[in-house]
A and B are shown apart, each in its own frame.
Chain A
Amino acid sequence: MSFNLVEVNNLTFTYRDEKQPALEKVSFALPAGSWTAVVGPNGSGKSTLTRLLDGLLWPDSKHSEIKIAGERLTKQNVWSVRQQIGIVFQNPDNQFVGATVADDVAFGLENQNFPPEKMQERIEQALAAVKMQDYAGTEPSRLSGGQKQRVALAGITALRPKLLILDEATAMLDPQGRRDVIALIQQLRQDYQLTVLSVTHDADEAALADQVLVLSHGKVKATGTPADLFSQPDLIASLGLKPPFVMDLKQRLAAKGIEVPAEITEEQDLVNYLCQLSSTK
C-alpha cells in the first residue's frame, strides 16, 4: 500500500503557561497498514502528539497540518475524523466507562448513535475478536489489567477505525499481559487492516514496528527501522529508553562481576538463576 493514512507537517504545540513548545516542527507520515513506534524520554512530547492527532489538543498555528486519510483535521470535522481513530490509553481503569464489559464496548457505539438492534451482534463480534466473549457480563473490578486493555481494544474494533493509537497501552501490565496484548494487536491489525501508532517505553514493543520515530525535547531526533535504531546503543541510552530489561540487568550484573550465562534471556529464568545464586552462597 502506498498512500499515507496520516500526514503530519510542521506540527508545533505549546501548552498554556509554558515557554518551551512541547512539540516543535514535527513532520512525519504513516503509510496505511504500517506499524510505527514513537519512542523518547518522558516529556519529549509523545503523548501530546497522540492527543493532537485525535483533535483533543490543537496546534499553535495554522501552518501546522494534520491530515488523516487525506482530510485535513479541523474543528469542523474533528468528530468525523475521530471516528477513524481509536486510542488505547495507559491506565486500564481510567478508560473503562461501562459497568460491565459489554456496556463498555457499547459506549463508543452509543456515541455514534449506532442502531440498538444491531449492537448486540457487533459487541459479540468485537469481544470474540479479543477473546473476551466469556466475560460480557463481568464487572471491570474482576478483570486483570491485560483483560481491561483487551476490552478497550474490543471497544475500538467495534467502531472499525483505520488508525489505532496505543498511548503506552502496555506500560501498566505485567509481562504476560503485555505479551498477550501485543500479540492481540498484531492479530487485530491484520484482521482489520489497521495502521498502528504505538507510543512506548518498551524496547521489545518498539522492535515490532516497521518504523521508529524518536522524539526528544519535542523534536524528531531520528527515524528509521528498529534494527537501525537498536544498533546505536549510545542513541538509545541518550534517550533514556530502557533496553530490554533482562539484557540491561545482565550487563549491570556483569559490571559487578556476576556473569550470567548467555542462554538466559527470559525474565523468569533470570529470577530462578539469581535465587539459586544467593541460596548457594
Chain B
Amino acid sequence: MSKLIIGRYIPGDGPVYRMDPRGKLLATFIFIAIVFLANNWQTYAIACGFCLLAVIATKLPLKTFLQGIRPLVWLILFTALLQLVFTTGGHVYWHWGIFSITSFGLVNSIFIFLRFLMVILISTVLTLTTMPLEIAAGMESLLKPLKYLHVPVEQIALVMAIALRFVPTLMDQTVKIMNAQRTRGVDFNEGGLIQRAKAFVPIIVPLFIESLNVALDLSIAMEARGYQDDKPRSRYRSLHWSHYDLYNLGFFVLLTVLLIIFREH
C-alpha cells in the first residue's frame, strides 16, 4: 500500500507548490478536457511538451512519476492493444480472424497510449504537489456557487477533510485488527478467492464498529471545541492567488490555443 504514489503528497518547493490549489484543480480539469483536441502528431507533441514542462516544474525526480505510472501501465497497454487490433483502415500489416494490425490502428494506439499517459502525469502532478487538505479547500472554494442552491458546501468540505485525516488512522486500525485475527489463526494468504474474501469479514466488521465509535467520540469532541454547523467560521488556511497562478492558467490557455490551431480540421 505504501508504494502507491497516486494520491500521495510529497513535500517540495518547486514553482508548482506555490500555485493555488484552485488554479491547479482548474488546470487539471482543463487539461483533461483539451487533451481530446489533439488529433495529429503536431498537437500530441505540443501536449506532451506541456506535460513534461509541468513535471519539470515540480522539481521532483522523474523516478517518482514513473513509480506513479507503473501500477497503471497494464491498463494503459491493454487499452492501447485493443485500439491496435480492432482499428481498421489504412495499410494492413497483419491479419488473423477479426484481428488486424493496420497503419491507422498503430497510430491510434500510440495516440491513446500518450493521452492516457498525459492525463495520469498531470493528475499526479496535482496530487504530488498539493496536500489533500488543500485539494479539499480548493474544491470547496470552486464549488461555492452551489451554496445558492442550498448545497451545504462548507459542511461537505469539512466532512472531506475529516475523512482524509482519518485514512491513516483507519489504516493503522486495519493492521492492528489483522494482526489480532492472525494471532487467532486466521490466514489471509491461503485458499481460493472466495476463502480469502471470507477471511476479510472478521476485519471489516470490527473496523466498521470502530469507525462508528470514532465518529461518536469525534462528534462530542468537536462540539466541546465549539463547532456549530450553522455558524460562520473563520479559516486558518486562506487561499491566495499569486503570479504563479497567472503563469499556470496562462500556460493552459496558450496550450488550448495551440491545440486548436494545429489540430487537423
Write the residues of chain A forming the contact surface with B, with a CB cutoff of 8 angstroms.
51, 54, 56, 79, 82-83, 85-87, 89, 91, 93-100, 102-103, 106-116, 119-120, 123, 139-141, 155, 159
* Shortest CB distance A21–B (Å): 21
CB neighbours of A109 from chain B (8 A)? 234, 236
CB neighbours of B171 from chain A (8 A)? 141
B228 touches A93 (CB 8 A): no
Judge if B238 is at the interface, Cβ distance under 8 Å.
Answer: yes
0 or 1 for each of B220-264: is its CB under 8 Å from A? (1 = yes)? 111111111001111111100000000000000000000000000
Judge if B161 is at the interface, Cβ distance under 8 Å.
Answer: yes
Given contacts A89-B221, A99-B131, A100-B133, contact A139 B168 (CB under 8 A): yes
Q: Could you pull out 12 A-B pairs where Cβ atoms are within 8 angstroms? A: A54-B224, A85-B224, A108-B226, A110-B236, A113-B234, A115-B234, A116-B234, A116-B238, A120-B236, A123-B236, A139-B165, A139-B168
B236 touches A102 (CB 8 A): yes
User: Quick one: closest A residue to B227, CB to CB?
Assistant: A111
Interface size band for B: 20 to 34
Judge if B162 is at the interface, Cβ distance under 8 Å.
Answer: yes
A99 touches B133 (CB 8 A): yes
Residue in B165, B225, B237 with the greatest tally of chain A CB atoms within 10 Å? B225
Distance of A178 Cα from B169 Cα, bound (Å):
21
Given A56-B224, A79-B228, A139-B168, 8 additional A-B pairs, CB 8 A: A51-B220, A79-B226, A89-B217, A93-B169, A97-B225, A99-B133, A107-B225, A155-B225
User: Quick one: closest A residue to B161, CB to CB?
Assistant: A99
CB neighbours of A159 from chain B (8 A)? 226
Judge if B105 is at the interface, Cβ distance under 8 Å.
Answer: no
B225 touches A114 (CB 8 A): no
B225 touches A103 (CB 8 A): no
A116 touches B221 (CB 8 A): no
Per DSSP, chain B at the interface is: helix
CB neighbours of A112 from chain B (8 A)? 226, 234
| From A56, A91, A108, A141, contact of B168 by CB (8 A) | A141
Distance of A46 Cα from B101 Cα, bound (Å):
77
B234 touches A114 (CB 8 A): yes
B226 touches A82 (CB 8 A): yes
Distance of A106 Cα from B55 Cα, bound (Å):
33
A99 touches B165 (CB 8 A): yes
Distance of A108 Cα from B133 Cα, bound (Å):
17
B224 touches A82 (CB 8 A): yes
B225 touches A111 (CB 8 A): yes
CB neighbours of A99 from chain B (8 A)? 131-133, 161, 164-165
A113 touches B231 (CB 8 A): yes
| From B169, B223, B224, B225, contact of A141 by CB (8 A) | B169
B236 touches A97 (CB 8 A): no
User: Quick one: closest B residue to A106, CB to CB?
Assistant: B236
Given contacts A95-B217, A119-B234, contact A140 B169 (CB under 8 A): yes
B232 touches A113 (CB 8 A): yes
B227 touches A141 (CB 8 A): no
B236 touches A108 (CB 8 A): no
A111 touches B226 (CB 8 A): yes
| From B168, B227, B236, contact of A119 by CB (8 A) | B236
The 6 closest A-B pairs by CB, nearest first: A106-B236, A94-B217, A141-B168, A95-B221, A111-B226, A99-B165
Given contacts A108-B226, A111-B228, contact A141 B234 (CB under 8 A): no
User: Quick one: closest A residue to B233, CB to CB?
Assistant: A110
CB neighbours of A93 from chain B (8 A)? 169, 214
A110 touches B214 (CB 8 A): no
Distance of A108 Cα from B226 Cα, bound (Å):
6
Given contacts A97-B165, A100-B133, contact A56 B217 (CB under 8 A): no
A97 touches B234 (CB 8 A): no
Distance of A56 Cα from B133 Cα, bound (Å):
29
B233 touches A56 (CB 8 A): no
User: Quick one: closest B residue to A89, CB to CB?
Assistant: B221
* Shortest CB distance A4–B (Å): 22
Distance of A123 Cα from B223 Cα, bound (Å):
20
